[in-house]
Amino acid sequence: DVKVTQSSRYLVKRTGEKVFLECVQDMDHENMFWYRQDPGLGLRLIYFSYDVKMKEKGDIPEGYSVSREKKERFSLILESASTNQTSMYLCASLRGGRSGEQFFGPGTRLTVL
């Protein structure tokens, strides 16, 4: 089974802290994604990566950065956390082929106080 894991299910941080969210997939997928999900707004793409050391901005990259040093790991970084970054963060990994189905991790619920 494809497995996408995220480092934490729940995280509480203070305004101004630097926050790292880690995502690891075990299926050798080239493409990885970070989304945030908020009530009434749905899933919004923050950043994605189609290869090691490559990254592309999504719809809402402001306040975030990413790192992809190894194929299996994609990190989301909040340089200086703010309360409006309180959200559910979902990582996904893409399988190639016909369906192009994205596999999601369990999510990290981040609260910034």
Q: Catalog residues that contact other proteins under the rule CB under 8 A.
A: 31, 33, 35, 40-45, 48, 50, 56, 58, 90, 94, 98-107
Judge whether 2 and 25 are in contact, CB under 8 Å.
yes
Q: Hey, how many other C-beta atoms are within 10 angstroms of the C-beta on 97? A: 7
Residue 94 CB, nearest approach to other proteins (Å): 6
Phi-psi label, residue 20: left if phi above 0, alpha if psi -120 to 50, beta otherwise: beta
Residue 18 CB, nearest approach to other proteins (Å): 25
Looking at the Cβ atoms of 28 and 42, the one nearer to other proteins is: 42
Looking at the Cβ atoms of 12 and 43, the one nearer to other proteins is: 43
Report the alpha-carbon distance of residue 32 to residue 67 in Å, rounded.
11
Residue 15 CB, nearest approach to other proteins (Å): 25
